[in-house]
Chains A and B, each alone.
Chain A
Amino acid sequence: MYTEKVMDHFQNPRNMGEVENPDGVGEVGNPQCGDVMRITIKVDEEQDRIDDVKFKTLGCGAAIATSSMVTELAKGKTLDEAQEISRKVVAEALGGLPPQKMHCSNLASDGLQKAIEDYRARHAKKETV
């Protein structure tokens, strides 16, 4: 039911773990639903670019594969570019997801967006200090 790409990212996840002293953290999902994702990013302030991004995920095959894919897509992108990475973009990069997985297990891009928001909120605070 999964594409080869999904299985590849599930079996050999990219960028699994946590960035040390992250500049932004995004956590989405709920253990009751069976999916929780935590995305951590390191941002190059000068370039406004994501230098490093890692994930930790509890969830099904699709949840892990989308997490892995989102980190691969986001790494090296500017924050503005990374904000374009939607659920649809992730699903397409994986060659598609089964319909019932589009909804629940495709939260990784939301996690990335939350991490970017978190970075921007922290950054704004820093600038006002």
Chain B
Amino acid sequence: MKNAIFLDNAATTRADPEVIDAMEPWLSEKFGSPATLYSMGSQAKQAIDAARQSFADLIGADQKDIFFTSGATESNNWAIKGVADALESKGRHIITDVAEHHSILMPLRYLEKKGWEVTYLPTDSDGVVNPEAVAAAIRDDTVLVSIVHANHEIGTIQPITAIGKITSEKGVIFHVNAAQTVGHIPVDVNHLGVDLLSSSAHKFYGPKGVGAMYIRHGVRITPLLHGGTQEKKRRAGTHNVPGIVGMGKASEIARHSLEAEATRLAGLRNHIFDWVEGNIDDIRINGHRTERLPGNVNFSIEGIEGESIMLSLSYPTAGDARPVYVSTGSACVSGSLEPSHILLALGLPAELAHGSVRITMAKADTQEDVDYALETIAAVAERLRSMSPVYKRGNKKCSAGNSSQGCDCEAAS
């Protein structure tokens, strides 16, 4: 296949070649477990400590407060279940918002089944959570507030510092899922005022299967995995040494390149917004225009459906065309009958959520690639609209506030 344009970097990124080089010895000659006392083991231990320092430096933390995990899903589960378990006697109420990732929402559903109460705050039409709503929702029995740093689908960055001030005044633990922001925009745990922070290496050019949790000194949290004494008895299991070393290397690279890269990507992002608004009729930009991840673009194309856009882009018919990989919030891709809960939370009608396109850029993506992808998207939109029995140009459904009643395919058939 002709060289593809990968614009799905919020899903995962390609590991940096330097990261792969740094990992390699720890898979081969230096394969020892850091828990052992002979030299191979102590070398591995030193490597882990160096990675811990490197990641701590990236997020402005003390290295003693960093705990390696298998990724953001584990860290999120740990934050929620671990705090719930440790503070159950204080109260059984948790606050989050409706547009969170499933690795936050599902552990919360699990707790709800066990009798916990969860407040799901709404977002505004750009996906922003109001800090005052957080303050108003905190009760005497609230033990945890969990809000994402930046949304993986629409890229909206939350006012974490403002929320952190409130939680610290009220003495409630504040967890932030920073899977999309660490390594992409400046993250400083003290400036943000967070107590717990989740991160994942493969989102910033590190390997899959490794992540970390920042736990502010003194925060009470029960381990998720019990077993050996690794990670100060807070996260058992033989260390993923190659993965951790890779995460350390990715952190070091990010610390030096993050700001310039964020500026470059934000330029490309704004260019895409301007281009789609100028060249494709009847679209809606989803998410906040400026308080937004530099590499994230999300828009809905009225009158067509996301999976057919995605398939058309990834399997082009012309022999010399380059495949373009994007993502969508359509139900057809989620595996359920409902489109993305995040787009519905913005107040989008279901038909616009089905027609959403998410472009997420990373280091390898150039202006040339982006322009190629845009021309292709416009052509695909035109073709699919010509096939659509419902699309009428200028019909203006592209406004929020007309939320759907959900979809029953049986009733519709």
Q: Give 3 nearest A-B pairs by CB, closest first.
A: A38-B389, A60-B332, A60-B307
In the complex with contacts A34-B339, A64-B308, A57-B407 CB distance below 8 A: no
In the complex with contacts A13-B387, A29-B412, A58-B304 CB distance below 8 A: yes
Residues of chain A lying within 8 A (CB to CB) of residue B305:
34-35, 58-60, 63
Q: Does B177 contact A (CB under 8 A)?
A: no
B110-161, CB < 8 A from A: none
Q: Does A125 contact B (CB under 8 A)?
A: no
Asked if residues B388 and A105 are in contact (CB atoms below 8 Å), the reply is: no
The CA of A107 and the CA of B388, in the complex, are separated in Å by 15
A26-53, CB < 8 A from B: 27-38
The CA of A61 and the CA of B330, in the complex, are separated in Å by 12
Asked if residues A32 and B404 are in contact (CB atoms below 8 Å), the reply is: yes
Seen from chain A, the residues whose Cβ lies within 8 Å of a Cβ on chain B are 2, 7, 10-13, 16, 27-38, 56-64, 100-101, 103-105, 107, 110
Asked if residues A56 and B409 are in contact (CB atoms below 8 Å), the reply is: no
B326 to chain A, nearest CB (A): 15
B287 to chain A, nearest CB (A): 21
In the complex with contacts A11-B315, A34-B331, A60-B308, A110-B413 CB distance below 8 A: yes
- Encode contact with A along B331-370: 1 for CB under 8 Å, 0 otherwise: 1100101010000000001110010000000000000000
The CA of A7 and the CA of B312, in the complex, are separated in Å by 10
Asked if residues B307 and A61 are in contact (CB atoms below 8 Å), the reply is: yes
B69 to chain A, nearest CB (A): 31
- Encode contact with A along B172-202: 1 for CB under 8 Å, 0 otherwise: 0000000000000000000000000000000
Q: Does B164 contact A (CB under 8 A)?
A: no
SS of A interface (majority): mixed
Q: Does B391 contact A (CB under 8 A)?
A: yes
A59 to chain B, nearest CB (A): 5
Q: Does B379 contact A (CB under 8 A)?
A: no
Asked if residues A57 and B389 are in contact (CB atoms below 8 Å), the reply is: yes
Asked if residues A32 and B350 are in contact (CB atoms below 8 Å), the reply is: yes
Asked if residues A58 and B391 are in contact (CB atoms below 8 Å), the reply is: yes
* Most chain B Cβ neighbours within 10 Å, of A16, A33, A56, A100: A33
What are 11 A-B interface contacts by the 8 Å CB criterion?
Answer: A7-B315, A32-B407, A33-B337, A34-B330, A36-B388, A58-B389, A60-B305, A60-B306, A61-B332, A64-B387, A107-B413
Residues of chain B lying within 8 A (CB to CB) of residue A12:
317
Q: Does B162 contact A (CB under 8 A)?
A: no
In the complex with contacts A33-B407, A107-B413, A56-B389 CB distance below 8 A: yes
A104 to chain B, nearest CB (A): 4
Asked if residues B413 and A29 are in contact (CB atoms below 8 Å), the reply is: yes
The CA of A87 and the CA of B328, in the complex, are separated in Å by 27
Q: Does B311 contact A (CB under 8 A)?
A: yes
Residues of chain B lying within 8 A (CB to CB) of residue A60:
305-308, 311, 330, 332
User: Residue A57 contacts which of B331, B349, B387, B410 (CB distance < 8 angstroms)?
Assistant: B387
